[in-house]
């Protein structure tokens, strides 16, 4: 049987390699396109920094890290020229004396802003940047109150204003200061604000991985078509044994590529690679391979097999939450998670129900001697 498997691989290695690499390539292209689109949808603003103090640098960092803002650092004349050309939505100037105004608790005219008649996001950006500057004022006021408390109680303060403000900023960055707890029907949950990515890397990958797997398993139909069946009467092995050997061969090859994919995602998208994730990935691969194997054993026409395989892949992707999040539905109906092995991969679990059902069908296929399960 080994030479038959190797002969098939040698004859069709080009198409097999293409199908193996297609999920990785397409996922990278999709994620790159989405990233470019997200970058293009950010609001372009110019930031003119005329003061190099600690508070000014902190404000600049906070503005740069604000989502949906594409910050360009320019001098004032260049920024105003680009604003007139409508290449920028607005211009913001951190003038010299910003830190002094903050430490003096002066809240007005901390930052200068310029806009044009086409600055569609100007008001929203102004409110965002103003709120960031007001945080600095609030920290300064808090440090003043703390220093005054030491004076009122006759104690010598060991911290100066800069240390108090720095400690406040560090605490805000490292701890969840805003936390909301709520409960429904005696069930308590805790909600933390977090920004979910537009697309999940593994979610995009599962779409192409499932479709390519169905195309790879078309050998079941090609090797068992009516014109090829007499060949098995003159070979030392049966078609059932050959098919199971090919299933193991493709599972080993595909899982090896899946592991390589996981480390590529680790390097490019900072996706975690743990033993749990690898086990979940193996369970997903085994589930999809057996599903494609059994589906191919039912059909006799390649076209109908391809159409059914693509339809099943799209259905499992949608109900698995790979493209559209289903968190709300799963909280209401937890059993939805069991309908698709895709959701198990995304959550790092094992689709036990799918594995049991497919294993049972595979045993029945073997018991019937490799004939179609009807």
Q: Which two tokens stand for residue 46?
A: 């110019």
| Contact predicate 242/4, CB 8 Å | yes
Sheet architecture: strand order including 43-49: 69-73, 43-49, 90-94, 112-115
Residue for token digits 């902190």?
58
Across 65-119, the runs of DSSP E, i.e. the strands, are 69-73, 90-94, 112-115
Least Cα distance to 201 among 35, 21, 19 occurs for: 35
* Residues 6 or more apart in contact with residue 351 via CB below 8 angstroms: 283, 284, 287, 338, 341, 344
pLDDT digit string (tens) for the chain, length 374 residues: 565 556 666 777 888 899 999 999 999 999 988 877 766 678 889 999 988 887 788 888 888 888 788 899 999 999 999 999 988 989 999 988 887 887 776 767 778 899 888 888 888 888 888 888 877 777 666 666 666 666 666 666 555 655 655 666 565 555 545 444 444 444 444 444 444 455 789 999 999 999 999 999 998 888 876 666 666 566 667 778 888 988 998 999 999 999 999 999 999 989 999 999 999 999 999 999 999 999 999 998 999 999 999 999 999 998 888 777 666 666 677 666 778 899 889 889 999 999 999 999 999 998 875 554 43
Q: How far apart are the C-alpha atoms of 46 and 255, rounded to whole Å?
A: 48
Q: What is the 3-state secondary structure (H, E, C) of 123-141?
A: HHHHHHHHHHHHHHHHHHH
3-class secondary structure, 335: helix
Question: For residue 11, what is the enclosing H or E element?
Answer: helix 2-11
| Contact predicate 349/280, CB 8 Å | yes
Residue ranges per structural domain of the chain: 2-34+199-367, 42-175
Q: How far apart are the C-alpha atoms of 364 and 221, rounded to whole Å?
A: 19
* Assessment of whether the complete model's pTM goes beyond 0.85: no
Least Cα distance to 164 among 134, 132, 138, 130 occurs for: 138
* Residues 6 or more apart in contact with residue 124 via CB below 8 angstroms: 43
* Alpha helices (H) in 153-238, listed in sequence order: 161-174, 201-216, 219-223
* Residues 6 or more apart in contact with residue 102 via CB below 8 angstroms: 55, 110, 133, 136, 137, 140
3-class secondary structure, 70: strand
CATH T-level topology, domain 42-175: D-Maltodextrin-Binding Protein; domain 2 (3.40.190)
Least Cα distance to 199 among 353, 307, 38, 5 occurs for: 38
Q: How many CA atoms lie within 13 A of 35 on its CB side?
A: 10
* Residues 6 or more apart in contact with residue 293 via CB below 8 angstroms: 217, 220, 243, 247, 362
Least Cα distance to 91 among 51, 44, 50, 133 occurs for: 44
DSSP annotation string for 18-37: HHHHHHHHHHHHHHHHHHHH
The pLDDT, as a whole number, for residue 58 is 82
């Amino acid at each position: 049987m080994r030479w038959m498997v190797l002969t098939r691989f040698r004859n069709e290695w080009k198409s097999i390699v293409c199908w193996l690499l297609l999920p990785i390539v397409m996922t990278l292209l999709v994620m790159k396109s989405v990233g470019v689109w997200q970058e293009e949808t950010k609001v372009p603003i110019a930031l003119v920094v005329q003061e190099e103090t600690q508070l000014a640098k902190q404000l600049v960092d906070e503005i740069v890290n604000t989502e949906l803002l594409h910050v360009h650092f320019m001098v004032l004349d260049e920024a105003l020229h680009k604003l007139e050309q409508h290449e920028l939505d607005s211009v913001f100037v951190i003038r010299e004396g910003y830190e002094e105004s903050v430490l003096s608790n002066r809240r007005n005219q901390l930052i200068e802003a310029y806009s044009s008649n086409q600055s569609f996001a100007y008001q929203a950006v102004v409110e965002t940047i103003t709120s960031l500057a007001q945080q600095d004022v609030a920290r300064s006021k808090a440090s003043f109150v703390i220093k005054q408390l030491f004076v009122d109680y006759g104690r010598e303060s060991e911290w100066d204003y800069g240390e108090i403000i720095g400690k406040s900023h560090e605490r805000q960055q490292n701890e969840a200061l805003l936390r909301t707890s709520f409960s429904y029907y005696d069930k308590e949950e805790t909600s933390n604000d977090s920004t979910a990515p537009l697309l999940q890397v593994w979610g995009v990958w599962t779409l192409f991985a499932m479709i390519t797997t169905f195309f790879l398993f078309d050998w079941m139909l090609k090797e068992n078509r009516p014109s090829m069946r007499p060949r098995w009467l003159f070979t030392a092995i049966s078609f059932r044994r050959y098919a199971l050997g090919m299933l193991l061969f493709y599972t080993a090859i595909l899982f090896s590529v899946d592991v390589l994919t996981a480390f590529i995602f680790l390097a490019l998208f900072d996706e975690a690679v743990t033993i749990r994730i690898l086990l979940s990935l193996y369970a997903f691969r085994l589930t999809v391979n057996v599903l494609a194997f059994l589906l191919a054993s039912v059909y006799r026409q390649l076209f109908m097999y391809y159409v059914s395989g693509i339809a099943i892949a799209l259905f499992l992707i949608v109900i698995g939450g790979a493209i559209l999040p289903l968190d709300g539905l799963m909280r209401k109906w937890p059993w939805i998670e069991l309908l698709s092995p895709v959701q198990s991969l995304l959550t790092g679990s094992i689709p036990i129900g799918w594995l049991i059902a497919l294993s049972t069908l595979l045993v029945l296929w073997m018991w019937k001697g490799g004939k179609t399960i009807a």
